[in-house]
Chains A and B, each alone.
Chain A
Amino acid sequence: MSDGFKVLYYVNQFFGQIGGEDKAGMKPEFHSEKIGPALGFEQLLKGEGKVVGTIICGDNYFNENKEESLDYILNLVKNEAPDIFVAGPAFNAGRYGVACAEISRAVAEELNIPVVTGMYIENPGLDTCKQVAYVVSTSDNAGGMRKALPAMVNITYKLGKGMEIGSPEEEGYIARGMRKTIIVEKRGSLRAVEMLIKRLKGEEFETEMPMPVFNVVQPASAIKDLSKATIALCTSGGIVPAGNPDRIQSASAQKWGKYDVSKRDALNAPDFYTTHGGYDPVYANEIPDRVAPLDILKELQKEGYIGKVHEFFYTTTGTGTSVSNAVKFGTEIGKELKEAGVDGVILTST
């Protein structure tokens, strides 16, 4: 190969040197030259590969016109047919991170092109793409560019050359959540005895099967005056409108739904039923309010015991839903509730 492998680069308006916040509304554009980090990136590739172009898109434009932007960008990528797609690094920038993440996921999943990006560990975009892209762990601001780029280049180089990518620790990317089966030097029993001795000595040891961590949150302060409060009803019991319009899965839910219940007095059958696969649905289908008691809440509203029931009811299914999805749902629903000025939430689970 004369020019080595082909890399296509994605940056936002700022790193694309178009401008700051005032240019965040710009539509995606393709430039055949190397712009911003793409320039340094190609230099670091040392002739083994080349950056064939840079896609620039405004952060606001992307986030407000996701589908359109994704379509446009995917088409560009398809035409350029790079060997590897690189986005960012986005550091801790929220909108930029989400853009990098969504694009990375789409390119990896729909076009089957390997993707390399970079983010700070707390970037909200991370969970969207870390399973399908190599996300280099960066600092929380652009000051970390000099450290991030070489790591991204190194992974890109290995992908381009068809070399094996090492462990997250070796290569500096954020673990994708893949349990890779490998053969190691020490047999299992020896590792167990070494782990035991470390544990007995009070030294640091590393388990080979980390359990999911359930950290705690401080209880939020109580509602001062219930009679003025807006209460939202949520359930993981899978109560959905007849026909399940959003096709909430019966198990291992990938999404949640919200439905306007401002004009209803109850979640009565047959307008509502449960799609949850984790329990005998007979009782819930008879009276869906047995799972999500909208009727009682509305009564309490009429009696003036509470101010108001929030106009939207939120629902998903709890069974088999992965921890990361549950976190995602909670974050998304919580954000909406906060913005809507909800004062308290009742979540029912089956």
Chain B
Amino acid sequence: MIITNNPLVAEKYENVLWTDGSVEKTLIIVRDFIHQGYELVSHPLAASLRMLFSPYRSIIINNKKEKLNFEHAQIIEDSIIKYKKHMDLRKTDEKTRDDYKKIDLLLLEAALSEEKGKWY
């Protein structure tokens, strides 16, 4: 399942949980799923500080497992802390909103392509 606040992703894919909210809200939804036993497929954060300015973020999670995945719980918590640490001081970059939308979609597709042909 893809959890996203990016409308481009919601339009293009099924199995999407779309939220009309901020990236922080998206991360928090992911966290609540992880706490219930779902696992992260893609990392909650992107690979640069600049991408933290993005008003959009899409994260892939996996099926619910019996037990909580400690490592993933830690990763999502650390990610939220790191995100807030940066964004409490800054604002998302709204001027280039559409570019972020596109890049978020393309990065998501790169992650999906890594996951093709897998069953676990």
Contact = CB atoms under 8 A, between A and B. Distances in A.
B81 A279 contact: no
Contact of B31 (A251, A279, A320): A279
Interface residues of B, number: 7
A280 interface: yes
Given A251-B84, A320-B84, A278 B32 contact: no
A280 B77 contact: no
A280 B84 contact: no
B64 to A, nearest CB: 14
A279 B84 contact: no
Contacts of B84: 251, 320
Contacts of B80: 278
A251 B81 CA distance: 9
Judged by DSSP, the binding face of B is helix
A301 interface: no
Judged by DSSP, the binding face of A is loop
B43 interface: no
A319 B77 contact: yes
Contacts of B35: 279-280
A319 B85 CA distance: 13
Contacts of A278: 31, 77, 80
Contacts of B77: 278, 319
A127 to B, nearest CB: 21
What is the interface residue range for chain A against chain B? under 10
A275 to B, nearest CB: 15
A42 B34 CA distance: 62
Interface string B39-81: 0000000000000000000000000000000000000010011
B32 A280 contact: yes
Contacts of B81: 251, 319-320
B95 to A, nearest CB: 28
B108 to A, nearest CB: 24
Interface string B8-34: 000000000000000000000001100
Nearest to B78: A320
Interface in A237-254: 251
Interface in A132-164: none
A280 B80 CA distance: 14
A221 to B, nearest CB: 30
Contacts of A280: 31-32, 35
A320 B35 CA distance: 17
A319 B77 CA distance: 8
A330 B106 CA distance: 47
Contacts of B31: 278-280
Nearest to A282: B32
A177 B80 CA distance: 23
A319 B18 CA distance: 26
8 contacts: A251-B84, A278-B31, A278-B77, A279-B35, A280-B32, A319-B77, A320-B81, A320-B84
Interface of A: 251, 278-280, 319-320
Interface of B: 31-32, 35, 77, 80-81, 84
Ranked 5 nearest A-B pairs via Cβ: A280-B32, A320-B81, A279-B35, A280-B35, A278-B77
Given A251-B81, A280-B31, A319-B81, 12 more contacts: A251-B84, A278-B31, A278-B77, A278-B80, A279-B31, A279-B32, A279-B35, A280-B32, A280-B35, A319-B77, A320-B81, A320-B84
